[in-house]
Structures are given as C-alpha cells and as structure tokens.
Amino acid sequence: MFHIKTLNPISEVGTGRLPADRYTVAADVPAPDAVLVRSADMHTYDLEDSLLAIGRAGAGVNNIPVDICSQHGIVVFNTPGANAGGVKEMVLCGLLLSSRKVPAALQWVQTLKGRGDEVGKLVEKGKKQFVGPELAGKRLGVIGLGAIGIRVANTARHLGMEVMGYDPYMSVDAAWKMSRAIIHAKDLAEIYTTCDYITLHVPYTKDTAAMIDAQVIASMKPGARILNFARGELVDSQAVLSALDSGHLGCYVTDFPQDCLLGHPGVVAIPHLGASTPESEDNCAVMAVEELRDYLENGNIKNS
Ligand code: MLT
C-alpha cells in the first residue's frame, strides 16, 4: 500500500479510475511515498524526507525543481501523450478562432442587445469586419513533433491544410516515418518564412526560452498567426505585441495569458485550458500513478 499525496484537488487530478485498495491518494498525507501534482508550483514546496518520487500529471515539468529532486534521489515522472487528445482539440479550436475572428465577433454581437428589430440589419452591416480566411489550402507549421504536435499535424491535414513539421530532436527520415502526411522542413527558418499559421509544441528549456523573438517574427510572412499551447516563456510577448500593432502578425493565440497581452485585439487568450478535459485529466492521473506504482513496487523507471 502506497501513500500518495496530491497537491492539486482530487477532482483536478482525475483519480476516479484508480484502484483505491492499492493506494491512498489524498491531499492530506503526512509522510507520503510520492506526490502527485498537476500544475501546482513545487519550487517552494518542502520535500518530505519520506518522498521517493513525484508524478507530474501532465507533460511539462517546469513547475517541479527537477535538479533538487535529483540531488535528493527523488525520481520525477511525467505523462507524455496522456493529455495530447485534449490539447490537440484546443489547438484546432485556436486555429479556427483566430482565423475567423470568432472571439471579437462574439463580443461585438452582444453589443447589439436591446436593438430589437434592427439586430438583423446591424449584423449584415457590421459583420464584414470579422471576415477571415478558411484554413483549407493554407500552410500550418508545426514546431515539435511529439505526441501533441503529430496529432495536430495529422488532424490539420484532414482539414485540408498543407502541414510543414519540424522537430529539433528528430531527423527528417524519422519524422517522415511518423507521418507521411506532412512536409518536413529542413530547418526552423523554412517554417518561419513560409507558413501562414505556426503552432508550438516544444518544451520550455533554456534553449527554447523566447525562441519566438522580434527577429524570428520579422522573418514570418505578413499576417502570420502564432499559436502557443506549449509554454508562455517560448514567446517574447513584447515582440508579439509590437508585431501585432504594426500589422505584421495576424494574431497570437495563447493558452498562457499574461497581463500585458490581455485586452489586445490581436490576442486570443485562453486560460490554460488545453489539457483541461475530464478524459485528459483522467489519463494523466492514471498514467502518473501507474508510473509511481511501477517504480515503488518494482523499481521500474519510465518517462522520467
Ligand atoms: C501539460 O504540461 O501537460 C499541460 O500544459 C497541461 C498541464 O499543465 O497540466
């Protein structure tokens, strides 16, 4: 029997499918064998002496002090791919929202409330400002061909988009084996300079911090739209705002709102909902606890 402490509410870590006779999973565990965490920040968390492992129910581990855990012999697991279905659907939603200017259109139509019989006429007169292009036939650049990126790429193909992918850790041959439906870029510059939409699916590391900066944005096609469902830190927000103001960028869709971005008409800000589906949360919790169990019972280390 293992004692696992959750740092996020049980409802958020989706532990409903776990066999309760084999583990205690609770918020209040005095000497836990392991911690299960979703997005709670563990950088100031006091690591208990009893702690052997941390299971991150999600992909990014930037909320965990991994180096300090390693020094204490605490193994950190994550759950790559477990929430990829949820994130993929939200990326597709972001593509459509940004292209067809849906958030601004929804806001505007509400302002017609109270105009009675005039509403129909006002809609016909005002809707032109929200005309936006179809996705079919446009080129989508997918940076990072992991579990999420590859799903986004394959689904975008079904929408009739031309998809160009790039993964810094994958050779063109390996990427080609994973998906023959996409064009594999020779480098990032090819993505930046030729794509109408660019979606980021790489982890936040010191190499990827602010990878989308003013210079990179300047190299993009006029009107390009950027989607960020990976981590806010990958993008230089001030550079994005300047490029939106100058009209060079068409839109920035982000799942990581920041104060400076809110209220800008060119920004579609989503409150970190990409992986927030019951299915994805369940998948992540089950995978994380299974990884913890396999480690605590058998010493096996997977996704660490
Ligand atoms: C992830 O890292 O898996 C996603 O950002 C969702 C989450 O933080 O749980």
Q: Residue 228 is which amino acid?
A: N
Cα 232 to Cα 63, 205, 228, 239, 254, distances in angstroms: 13, 12, 7, 13, 7
Q: Tens of pLDDT along 15-65?
A: 556 666 677 788 899 999 999 999 889 999 999 999 999 999 999 999 999
Which is higher by pLDDT, 179 or 246? 246
Q: Tens of pLDDT along 238-249?
A: 999 999 999 999
Block residue for tokens 């939200």:
90
Among candidates 241, 169, 172, 231, which has minimal Cα distance to 203?
Answer: 231
Question: How far apart are alpha carbons 184 and 121 in whole angstroms?
Answer: 47
Measured in Å, how far apart are the chain's first and last C-alpha atoms? 22
C-alpha of residue 194 to centroid of ligand 1, in Å: 29
Q: Tens of pLDDT along 72-128?
A: 999 999 999 999 999 999 999 999 999 999 999 999 999 999 999 999 999 999 999
Could you give the 3-state DSSP secondary structure of residue 91? Answer: helix
C-alpha of residue 115 to centroid of ligand 1, in Å: 43
Tell me the mean pLDDT in the region 137-163: 95
Domain 2-82+278-298 has CATH 3.10.20.740: no
Residues with CB under 6 A from ligand 1: 38-39, 58-60, 83, 275
Q: Supply the pLDDT for residue 11.
A: 58
Report the percent of the chain where pLDDT is more than 70. Answer: 95
Question: How far apart are alpha carbons 164 and 276 in whole angstroms?
Answer: 27
Q: Supply the pLDDT for residue 127.
A: 97
Tell me the mean pLDDT in the region 144-157: 94
Are 2-82+278-298 and 84-269 in the same CATH fold?
yes
Decide: pTM greater than 0.95.
no
Q: Supply the pLDDT for residue 198.
A: 98
Q: Supply the pLDDT for residue 188.
A: 97
Beta strands 197-200 and 249-254, pairing class:
unpaired
Q: If you take atom 8 of ligand 1, which residue's CA is the nearest one?
A: 39
Could you give the 3-state DSSP secondary structure of residue 224? Answer: strand
Question: How far apart are alpha carbons 201 and 258 in whole angstroms?
Answer: 19
CATH superfamily placement of domain 84-269: NAD(P)-binding Rossmann-like Domain (3.40.50.720)
Cα 92 to Cα 85, 154, 227, distances in angstroms: 11, 11, 10
Helix (H), strand (E) at residue 285: helix 278-298
189, two tokens = 């510059």
At 178, the pLDDT band (50, 70, 90 cuts) reads confident
C-alpha of residue 230 to centroid of ligand 1, in Å: 8
Q: Tens of pLDDT along 226-278?
A: 999 999 999 999 999 999 999 999 999 999 999 999 999 999 999 999 999 98
Least confident window among 4-13, 203-212, 240-249:
4-13
Do residues 202 and 230 touch, judged by C-beta distance below 8 A?
yes
Q: Does the structure show a pLDDT above 70 at 66?
A: yes
Domain map (residue ranges) of the chain = 2-82+278-298, 84-269
Q: Does the structure show a pLDDT above 90 at 282?
A: no
Question: How far apart are alpha carbons 181 and 237 in whole angstroms?
Answer: 32
What number does the ligand 1 atom closest to the CA of 275 have? 6
Of 63, 83, 148, 273, best ligand 1 pocket probe by most atoms within 8 Å of the beta carbon: 83
Q: What is the ipTM of this complex?
A: 0.93
Q: Supply the pLDDT for residue 12.
A: 60
Among candidates 98, 37, 87, 42, which has minimal Cα distance to 69?
Answer: 42
